[in-house]
Amino acid sequence: MSNQKANPTAKRHYHLAGIAGVGMSALAQALAAEGYDVSGSDRDLDRGADLDVLRKLRLAGVRLRAQDGSGVTAGTAALVISTAIEKDNPDILAAEGLSAPVLHRADCLARLMEGKPSVAVTGTSGKSTVTGMIGWMLEQVGADPVVVNGAPALNWVTDRAIGNARVASTRGARPARWWVFEADESDRSLLKFSPNWAVITNISKDHFGVEETKALFAEFRGRVKKGVVDEAAVGEALAQTRAEISEAGSVFVFKGVEARLALPGRHNVANAVFALALCERLGFKVADLVGALGTFRGIRRRLEVVGQAGGVTVVDDYAHNPAKIRAAWESLAPYHRRILAVWRPHGHGPLRSMMEELVGALGEICRPRDQLLVLPVYDAGGTADRSVNSDQLIDRLAGKGAPAALAAEGADLAKSLAARAEPGDVILIIGARDPGLSALAKRVAELLMRR
C-alpha cells in the first residue's frame, strides 16, 4: 500500500483488529462503503476458520491479514480495536511502534458519523432488534439510511452481505442520510456518541447493577441533541396497546393504525412501539411506517427458527441475562408442550454478578415438564476469576425444584437433544459470545430432519 505522505491522494487506511466480531465487521463495511481503505485481522482467520463473515468482508472490499502486526503500516490512519482486544495484541504493539493512532471502535464510528444526522439505539435489551426495525422502516419509506447494528437483520442477509450493516444505495449530492446505530452500554462506549436522537429501550441488571446502569443511561441522555424515546415516552402507548400475540407474530394498534409484526413475543411488540415512535418523531407517516414494519423479518439469533421437523421446532436465541432469557422462554412456552433448553453462561464474571437474578428467573419460568441443560461457562481466556461456575447455578436451581442439569459438551449433545425431542417440543439454544451455540442449533435441526 502506498505511503500517505508520499501520495496525498491515497485513501485513508484503517486496520481493524478482531474484524470478525459482529460490531467490528459492521464498522468495516461502513468504512469501506464510505470510500476508505479497510483491512482487518482476526484470531479465527489465523486458526484457519472458514467463517462466512470473513468471506463476505472480502466481497465488501476488505483486505484480511494475519494478526501479527503486519496489517498496520506507516500509512495507517488508525488501528481500530474493541474492548475485547488485549493490550499485548501484535497489532497494537505494531501501531505503538509506528506511532499510529489506536482508536476504540466507538470513537471511529463517532468520527465517521460526524456532522451527519444520527439515531442511537441503546438499552439493556432489545437494542439490536429496534435498530434493525428503525433501519428497515427508513429504507422502505425511501430514506436510504446507513445502519450499523450489533447483529444481522435477516432482511439484509444475502450470499454476499453479512446483514449487520446497511450502506447507502447511492452517493452524491443528496440530502444527508440518517445514520442508525446500536450504542453499546456494556463497556460504556455509548458515551462516545452525541446523536441527534436516541432510543433507550429498558434498564435492568446485566453488565452493571441497576443503579449504575441508570446513572450510565442518564449521562448518555445528556449527550443527545434533540430527543430521547424511552419507556417514559412510550409508556402510555405501551399500556394501551392490546396485542394479539401468537407464535407466528403479533397484531397491535399504534396511534390508531393496526400494525402486524411477524415476530413472536410481547417484548417484540414493545420493541416495535419504540421503533415506530422514533421514526414518527423523524417526520414519517405512521401508516407508511406500519406497512414497512410488517415486512421486517427479525434479527439473527433473536428467536430465530433454525428448523422444524416431526413436530419439533429448533430456535436459536442470544439471550444471556435474566430479562432476555425470560422473554425468550415466555414467548415460546404457550405454544409448545415442552421446552428443551441449552444455555451457556457467557462469562464467569457475568454469572457471578447475575447469580441471584438468574436463579430467581429460571426458577420461575421452568415448568416441571421443561428441561434446562446448562453448559460450562464460556471461557475466553485471560485472567478471569473462575471461582463461580455452572455447577453452582445448577445446585441453586435444584434447591428451587427447577428441572436443570449440567450438560456435557461435544457431538453427543446434539444427538441427545434430537433423540429426546417429541412432537410439540421446542429445542431452545440460548447464550452469547460462543459461536458454537448456533452450530449446535443447526446440527440438532439437521439430525431431526433425518429421523
With cell 461457562, the residue in question is: 377
Complete domains list, the chain, with CATH: 13-105 (3.40.50.720), 113-293 (3.40.1190.10), 304-450 (3.90.190.20)
Q: Percent helix, strand, coil in the chain (nearest 5)? A: 40, 20, 40
The predicted structure's pLDDT at residue 382: 67
What is the rounded average pLDDT of the residues 314-327?
92
pLDDT at 400: 87
**CA torsion angle 84 86 63 110 (round to 10):** 50
As a whole number, mean pLDDT of residues 164-182 equals 78
In percent, how much of the chain has pLDDT > 90?
Answer: 75
For residue 373, give the DSSP letter: E
pLDDT in tens, 138-152: 999 999 999 999 999
Structural contact between residues 183 and 221, judged by C-beta atoms closer than 8 angstroms: no
Q: For residues 319-332, give the mean pLDDT.
A: 92
Residue whose grid cell is 436459536: 316
* Identity of the residue numbered 209: G
Query: What pLDDT does 408 receive?
Result: 85
* Residue 9 pLDDT level (bands cut at 50, 70, 90): very low
From residue 294, alpha-carbon distances to 131, 238, 244, 342 in Å are 16, 18, 15, 31
* Digit-coded pLDDT (tens) for 46-98: 999 888 999 999 999 999 999 999 999 999 999 999 988 889 999 999 999 99
pLDDT at 204 > cutoff 90:
no
126: Cα separation from own chain's centroid: 9
At residue 21, what is the residue type? G
pLDDT mean across residues, the chain: 91
Q: Is the pLDDT of residue 116 over 60?
A: yes
* pLDDT tens digits, one per residue of 333-383: 999 999 999 999 988 988 998 999 999 999 999 999 999 999 999 986 666
Instruction: Count CA atoms closer than 13 A to 79's CA, side-chain side.
Output: 27
SS (H, E, C) 360-371: HHHHHHCCCCCE
C-alpha to C-alpha distances, 268 to 120, 228, 274, nearest whole angstrom: 19, 19, 10
Query: Regarding beta strands 179-182 and 249-254, do their DSSP bridges make them parallel or antiparallel, or are they unpaired?
Result: unpaired
Question: CA-CA distances (angstroms) from residue 14 to 46, 68, 311, 352?
Answer: 19, 16, 49, 37
Q: Say whether pLDDT at 2 is over 50.
A: no
Range with lowest mean pLDDT among 160-164, 173-177, 340-344, 355-359: 173-177
Where do runs of H (alpha helix) occur along 305-434? 322-332, 348-365, 390-399, 411-420
Grid cell 505511503 is found at: 3
pTM exceeds 0.85: yes
Model confidence band, residue 172 (pLDDT cutoffs 50, 70, 90): very low
Segment 113-138 mean pLDDT: 95
The predicted-structure confidence for 205-250, as pLDDT tens digits, reads as follows: 666 678 888 899 999 999 999 999 998 888 877 777 778 888 889 9
Query: Could you give the C-alpha distances from 333 to 340, 374, 401, 427, 428, in angstroms and in order?
Result: 11, 19, 18, 11, 11
% the chain with pLDDT above 70:
94
Side by side, which strands form the sheet with 76-81? 63-65, 37-41, 13-17, 76-81, 102-104
Q: What is the DSSP letter of 2?
A: -
- 440 burial via Cβ count (<10 Å: 0-12, 13-18, 19+): buried
What is the band of 201 on the pLDDT scale with cuts at 50, 70, 90?
very high
- Kindly tell me the sign of the dihedral angle through the C-alpha atoms of 11, 12, 13, 14: negative
Q: Assign 132 to helix, strand or coil.
A: helix
Which pLDDT does position 237 carry in this prediction? 77
Q: Can you spell out the DSSP letters for 224-251?
A: -SSEEE-HHHHHHHHHH---EEETTEEE
